[in-house]
């Protein structure tokens, strides 16, 4: 079996950076395809394809406006993601088991070893 379809999930849909950018732009309001494509430096077919994925998972909506098709944000599908990730909130400060101390140790150690921050 291959990887799950990008359209199977909002999780999969937003795994693609360009789609995230599209969603970001759409916060500013509805926009036609060509507009988005131009602003994001992608070709029109690419934009259309990404928008198709986003539409299939319900993250955007289309509205016909004469020659154009205005895409608008429908962020409701992002909520479950926010909640799932939020379930880890108390872990990304003091990560690991009860290894908060471990992190502290690492910090101290790296500070002592080198003055510059080696984190990525």
Partner DNA sequence: TTGACGCATTCCGATATAGGCATATGATGG
Partner DNA sequence: CCATCATATGCCTATATCGGAATGCGTCAA
Examine residue 66 and tell whether it contacts DNA (CB under 7 A). Answer: yes
DSSP-assigned states of every residue in 47-85: HHHHHHHHHHTTSEEEEEETTEEEEEE-GGGGHHHHHHH
**Contact residue for a copy of itself among 45, 52, 96, 105 (CB under 8 A):** 96
Q: How far is the CB of 82 from a copy of itself (least distance, A)?
A: 4
Q: Which stretch binds DNA (CB under 7 A): 21-29, 43-51, 81-89, 103-111?
A: 43-51
Contact 48, 68 (CB under 8 A): no
Q: Specify the 3-state DSSP secondary structure of 94.
A: coil
Q: How many residues does the chain have?
A: 120
Among 109, 6, 4, 1, smallest CA distance to 51 is for: 6
The option from DNA, a copy of itself, none interacting with 62 (CB < 5 to 8 A, set by class) reads DNA
CB nearer a copy of itself, residue 99 or residue 109: 99
Examine residue 57 and tell whether it contacts DNA (CB under 7 A). Answer: no
**Contact residue for a copy of itself among 64, 66, 67, 92 (CB under 8 A):** 92
């Amino acid at each position: 079996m291959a990887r799950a379809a990008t359209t199977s999930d909002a999780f999969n849909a937003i795994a693609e950076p360009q789609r995230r950018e599209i969603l970001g732009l759409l916060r500013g309001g509805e926009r036609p395809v060509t507009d988005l494509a131009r602003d994001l430096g992608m070709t029109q077919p690419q934009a259309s394809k990404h928008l198709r994925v986003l539409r299939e998972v319900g993250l955007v909506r289309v509205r016909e406006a004469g020659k154009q098709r205005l895409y608008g944000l429908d962020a409701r599908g992002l909520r479950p993601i926010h909640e799932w990730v939020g379930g880890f909130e108390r872990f990304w400060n003091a990560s690991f088991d009860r290894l908060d101390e471990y992190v502290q140790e690492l910090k101290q150690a790296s500070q002592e070893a080198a003055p510059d921050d080696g984190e990525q």
